[in-house]
Amino acid sequence: MQTLLEFAPVLAFCVAYYLRGIYFATTVLMAGMALLLLVDYARTRRIPATHGLSALLVFIFGAATLILHNERFIQWKPTVFFWLASAAFLGSFWFGERTLVERFLSNALGSPVAVSRTTWGRLNALWVIFYAVLGALNLLVAFNASERAWVNFKVFGLTLLTALFVGSQLVWLSRRLEPEAQVS
What pLDDT tens digit does each residue of the chain (184 aa) get? 667 788 899 999 999 999 999 999 999 999 999 999 999 999 999 999 999 999 999 999 999 999 999 999 999 999 999 999 999 999 999 998 899 999 888 777 777 777 888 889 999 999 999 999 999 999 999 999 999 999 999 999 999 999 999 999 888 888 777 654 444 4
Residue from 164, 9, 124, 126 nearest 74 by CA: 9
Neighbours of 90 (CB within 10 A): 18
pLDDT score at 170: 86
Kindly report, residue by residue over 14-65, the tens digit of the pLDDT: 999 999 999 999 999 999 999 999 999 999 999 999 999 999 999 999 999 9
pLDDT score at 145: 98
pLDDT score at 179: 56
CA dist 32 and 6 (Å) reads: 10
pLDDT score at 106: 79
What's the whole-model pTM score?
A: 0.89
The CA–CA distances, whole Å, from 38 to 46, 60, 118, 141 equal: 9, 18, 39, 32
